[in-house]
Amino acid sequence: MQFQIAITGFIALYLFMLAAFGGWVIIGRVPAILHTPLMSGSNFVHGIVVVGGIFALLNASTVQEQAIGFFAVLLGAGNAAGGYAVTDRMLAMFQVSGQKPVHAKAHHAKIHRPKKA
């Protein structure tokens, strides 16, 4: 069996169109109160670029390619990790009336699910 994916021509355009439409619909439902975490959260999602960076770096065969590939992974990892850290912190702060008051939130942000370096 062959698992190599080939996305060419119109297939790519269909994929882009559906993804853009899906993104538009999903994001359109997010209330204004969450727009900052939404922006940092979507910022985190494009941190997936780090996967492309790893691919490029692993396939590097010259010093120049290695250097640029290293740069790509470094920046991509920063995008992903930073985006996650700030979004998670912000979302932990939102609470309803009657929930445990002010101090709970500071600790909440620190109780952390393990994540990648």
Partner 1 sequence: MFTEIPQLIIGAVDLAAAFLFLYGLKRMSSPVTAPSGIFVAGLGMLVAILASFLYIFSVDAAAKPHLSVNIGLAAIALIVGGGAAWWSGKRVAMTAMPQMVALYNGMGGGAAGAIAAVELFGNKAQGATQLVVTLLGALIGAVSLSGSLIAWAKLDGVINKPLRVWGQQAFNGAVMLVTLAVGGYIIYVAQSGVDPLIPMPQLITLFFGCALVFGILMTLPIGGADMPVVISIYNACTGLAVGLEGFVLQNPALMIAGMVVGAAGLLLTLLMAKAMNRSVSNVIFTNFGSIPKHKQGDIKGSLKPTEAGDAGIFMRYASKVIIVPGYGLAVAQGQQKLYEFVKLLQAAGVEVKFAIHPVAGRMPGQMDVLLAEAGVPYDLIFQLEDINDDFASADVSLVIGANDVVNPAARDDKSSPIFGMPILNADKAKKVYVVKRGEGKGYADIVNALFYADNCEMVYGDAQAVLVKMIEAIRGLGLSAAA
Give yes or no for residue 15 binding partner 1 (CB under 8 A): yes
- Give how many residues touch partner 1 by CB under 8 A: 98
Of 55, 59, 63, 112, nearest to 88 (Cα)? 112
Q: How far is the CB of 106 from partner 1 (least distance, A)?
A: 9
Residue choice 10, 28, 107, 111 for contact with partner 1 (CB under 8 A): 28
Handedness of CA 39, 41, 45, 46 (dihedral sign): positive
For residue 94 the two structure tokens come to: 């939102």
Give backbone dihedrals phi and psi of 8, rounded to 5 degrees, phi first: -130, 165
Q: How far is the CB of 39 from partner 1 (least distance, A)?
A: 6
Give yes or no for residue 117 binding partner 1 (CB under 8 A): yes
Token look-up 């538009």 returns: 24
Residues in the chain: 117
Give yes or no for residue 19 binding partner 1 (CB under 8 A): yes
Contacting partner 1 within 31-90 (CB under 8 A): 31-62, 64-66, 68-90
Count of C-beta atoms within a 10 Å radius of residue 49: 16
Q: How far is the CB of 107 from partner 1 (least distance, A)?
A: 13
Q: How far is the CB of 113 from partner 1 (least distance, A)?
A: 6
